[in-house]
Amino acid sequence: MSRARLYALVPCAGVGLRAGARGPKQYAQLGGQAMVARTLQALAGVPRLTATLVVLSPDDAQFEAAVPGFGEQSASQWLARCGGETRAQTVFNGLQALAERGAEAHDWVLVHDAARCLLRPEWVDRLIDACLDDAVGGLLALPLADTLKQAVDGRVAHTVDRTAKWAAQTPQMFRLGPLREALAQAGAAVTDEASAIEAQGGAPRLVPGEAENFKLTYPGDFALAERLLRTR
């Protein structure tokens, strides 16, 4: 068996309804650049990645303007317009596209949210170092520090024990074959790759991430991201 390669896969087919942006949030401007452009810049700073595949919706007409030149000057930048209706479908279709481009079942795939655009290359390297020899793979995540409340009709029903609980981030790093099989079995409802692997009996490794690696989801997240960018 050949040495396992590493690929990044960026699902970029969502519409970002919660962000309050005009159009898909991955194309919203942040510090003068589209969010997804910042995400791809960070991934381009990870030399061990063989290639990065961005998975767009079939009717996407904004990517080339938001990330000019992507794929034109580098053989390691790929696009596939095969996004699905859900994140899980988009990732599954992206895995198929990677396989069609020569990726093998034992190769590693690092799935990363386009909306986690404050990513730093050294965080990706931290995940790779922790998981490259792991039997399952893993993900960046943060131990929960806040007290958690279970809500019913807008009121607290009870307090949730936060002991040993982590907030999942991305990238999430798994081998192409097992991840493709796990997503096929789990269906479209799973919200991250780790949960699909868990459903197959796998126990992904938790690799400490950074609070700055948050997913821009709500309008207030953009103002926070702008402030953080100014401190870099």
Please determine, for residue 19, whether its predicted confidence score (pLDDT) is greater than 50.
no
Higher-pLDDT residue of 23, 31: 31
Q: How far apart are the first and last CA of the chain?
A: 42
d(CA 190, CA 91): 11
Strand partners of residue 29: 34
Tokens of 51: 């290639």
Q: Tokens at residue 126, please?
A: 């931290």
The mean per-residue pLDDT over the stretch 170-194 comes to: 95
Task: Look up residue 225 and give its two tokens.
Answer: 């991201």
What does the domain layout of the chain look like in residue ranges? Answer: 6-138+168-231
Tokens of 6: 């590493």
- Structure tokens belonging to residue 115: 């909306």
Binned at pLDDT 50, 70 and 90, residue 18 comes out as very low
From 7-21, 146-160, 215-229, the region with the lowest mean pLDDT? 7-21
Fold topology of 6-138+168-231: Spore Coat Polysaccharide Biosynthesis Protein SpsA; Chain A (3.90.550)
How do the residues of the chain divide into helix, strand and coil, expressed in percent and rounded to 5? 35, 25, 40
DSSP state of 3: P
Across the range 159-175, mean pLDDT stands at: 95
Q: Which residue has the tokens 């965080």?
A: 123
Query: CB–CB of 13/89 below 8 Å?
Result: no
- pLDDT value at residue 195: 97
Whole-angstrom Cα Rg for the chain: 17
Q: Is residue 139 within 8 Å of residue 172, measured between CB atoms?
A: yes
Report field, pTM of the whole predicted structure over 0.75? yes
Residue 73 vs residue 55, higher pLDDT: 55
**Dist. CA 14–CA 195, nearest whole Å:** 20
What's the confidence (pLDDT) of residue 188?
Answer: 80
Other beta carbons within 10 Å of 46? 21
Report d(CA 121, CA 175) in Å as an integer: 20
Burial 124-158 (b: 16+ CB within 10 A, else e): bebbbebbeeeebbbbbbbeeeeeeeeeeeeeeee
3-state secondary structure of 188: coil
Contacts of 110 (CB under 8 A, 6+ apart): 6, 7, 8, 9, 49, 124, 127, 128, 171, 172, 173
